[in-house]
Every structure is written in C-alpha cells, then in structure tokens.
C-alpha cells in the first residue's frame, strides 16, 4: 500500500508533467495528467502506442466522469452500477472537456474509467 508520501510524490510528478505507474484493479497503468497534451504524448511515446489508439482517462468518481462526457441514460446506469470497478465507458466528449484531444486520439468520444 502506498504511503501518503508516495502519493504526494506521484501527485507532484503529475503536476510537473511527468509520468507515473499506478495499479488498477486489473493491471498496472502508465499515467499522466490527461489535461496536459505534452504529458499525454509522453505516454504514447513510452508505450510505443500509435496516436490513433485512444487512451482511457481515469477519474476518482462518477461526478468527475459525468463532467467530461455526455452520458446517455443507459451509460449512467452502467456507471452507477459498476463504478468503481473494471469498466471503461466510451461516451461523446462534453463540449468543454479539458482532456487533451490526443488522449482520445482526436475523436469526438472519450473513454472513461473509475478504478
């Protein structure tokens, strides 16, 4: 279990535009501040991931997710039933979504997860 100091160190790295490794309920992830386009580009570069392959944006709770995308009634039901948990939902981006377009490979949709 990470200590408070470990969490603060990771948060500082994210604020500085650096990458962090983190566990989810299924795998370890490589993450960055999704609102920082250059940090998102570092994720693609580190993973050797093609820019046409969108990333999943992890958020702390459904409220944060609902601010990033336009959720249909069915998508909301799924989110409320299975989050937090190993479910990613792909929804249209909200009009003022701050997530870098590169994170969603320039698409009008966004993949969101609440681990």
- The share of the chain scoring above pLDDT 70, in percent, equals 100
pLDDT value at residue 25: 80
Measure the CA–CA gap between 14 and 109, rounded to whole angstroms. 24
pLDDT value at residue 23: 86
* CB contact set of 90 (below 8 Å; sequence gap of 6+): 109, 110, 111, 112
pLDDT value at residue 26: 81
Radius of gyration of the chain (CA): 14
pLDDT tens digits for 37-67?
999 999 999 999 999 999 999 999 999 999 9
- In the CATH hierarchy, which fold is given to the domain comprising 4-113? DHBP synthase (3.90.870)
| 95 pLDDT above the threshold of 90 | yes
Structure tokens given for 99:
């997530």
Domain range summary for the chain, segments of one domain joined by +? 4-113
- Scan for tokens 């299924």, then name that residue: 26
What's the predicted TM-score (pTM) here? 0.92
């Amino acid at each position: 279990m990470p200590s408070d100091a470990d969490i603060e160190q990771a948060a500082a790295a994210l604020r500085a535009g650096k990458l962090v490794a983190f566990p989810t309920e299924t795998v370890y992830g490589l993450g960055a501040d999704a609102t920082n386009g250059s940090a998102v580009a570092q994720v693609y570069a580190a993973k050797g991931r093609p820019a046409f392959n969108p990333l999943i944006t992890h958020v702390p709770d459904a409220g944060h997710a609902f601010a990033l995308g336009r959720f249909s009634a069915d998508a909301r039901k799924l989110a409320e039933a299975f989050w937090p948990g190993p479910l990613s939902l792909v929804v249209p981006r909200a009009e003022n979504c701050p997530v870098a377009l590169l994170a969603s490979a320039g698409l009008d949709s966004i993949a969101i997860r609440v681990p």
